[in-house]
Structure 1
């Protein structure tokens, strides 16, 4: 993510970097509970927490920034809930539909497509190098990560089976340098067309 912020800064674009869950005091407080392996709330409770934080984040941070002409760079958003939670909580789609009027459709979505195997290796490396514990979702293992990837792949497609206009699929099996190059290429084309 830092390279995206650097790309915008080098071109003089005003940006706001934020994340989900989180972004606001309310969202950050919920984040600690939602991704913690220490609590074992039912899947519906997690889903309600994510969408509560998301609505607050969208209404109190994202939309005001966009209204000021600021580019918002958000790590994860509503599609992440659909990808990560719909398998364990079928009500997530209904919750998403209920909250949709309070959300904002992203102008550009990067789907970093990566196998569960590669993802697990990289998460373990990051955990060791940076002493960052795996969160509740990262700890669910191979089969879960494969399902998340399948869910993202389906979310990336429109009704005709084509990649949605605002989505860019990046082969994240590549080296970091190649991933960055692909994203920067997409950003350049997107900002020139805007």
Structure 2
């Protein structure tokens, strides 16, 4: 039996990392193996590229970023995700291809062409959990995290309200199929709720997903 690819998506500080431990526990309680990974990253190649791609110190043109993200993603998919799925492992991935389309399409329209070029080397997620928050909430959470953890904002976290709001809009468009309905493999989670309520909604979606699998 092959595993499934479950992806967490959303704008900055939507709560992806906070939700992961509960998701991993949910699968472990059912005797299912999981692999937690992230993008950009996952593999040694991807993690090395991550440092360049999210750093404010490197002012690469948007097309270079697009190619870099997809280069890391192809390696991640082929060398980590697919082998894990073939072993029956459920892969929980923080961000995947929809992140590039949501974050980069406004500044780099060519990202769609890069996506199509790389598509044969990628996977369609079995389930996308879109943790939806407003740009205002994102900014408040990032500032709180910056102060509490003394971690500087990265390149994408630093772009401000208008950028985050556009990315959120892009995600809401990506969530829809051609008829205007939520795609079959997408679930929208109201991540403005309390952490407990967010986890409860995610677990409900996971239960329904597993019943249908």
| TM-score bucket (shorter structure) | over 0.9
Count of residues in correspondence between the two structures: 194
Residue 163 of structure 1 pairs with residue 170 of structure 2 = no
**CA distances 1:124-170 after superposition (whole Å, capped 9, x unpaired):** 11222222322111110000000000000000000000000000001
Q: Tell me what 1:188 maps to.
A: 207
> Quick one: distance in 1 between partners of 2:197 and 2:32?
23
Q: Tell me what 1:104 maps to.
A: 123
Residue 80 of structure 1 pairs with residue 95 of structure 2 = no
CA RMSD of aligned residues (A): 0.8
Structure (1 or 2) with the greater helix fraction:
1
| 1:65-76 equivalences in 2 (<5 Å) | 65-76=84-95
Matched residue SS, 1:40: coil
> Quick one: distance in 2 between partners of 1:11 and 1:134?
37
> Quick one: distance in 2 between partners of 1:91 and 1:22?
22
Q: Tell me what 2:147 maps to.
A: 128
Normalised to the residue count of structure 2, the TM-score between the two structures is 0.89
Task: Report the CA distance between 1:3 and its aligned residue.
Answer: 1.5
Normalised to the residue count of structure 1, the TM-score between the two structures is 0.98
Q: Tell me what 1:64 maps to.
A: 83
Matched residue SS, 1:39: coil
Please identify, of 35-44 and 1-10, the stretch whose mean Cα deviation from structure 2 is larger.
1-10
Q: Structure 2 regions of 5+ residues with no counterpart?
A: 1-19
Matched residue SS, 1:137: coil
> Quick one: distance in 2 between partners of 1:132 and 1:177?
25
Q: Structure 1 regions of 5+ residues with no counterpart?
A: none
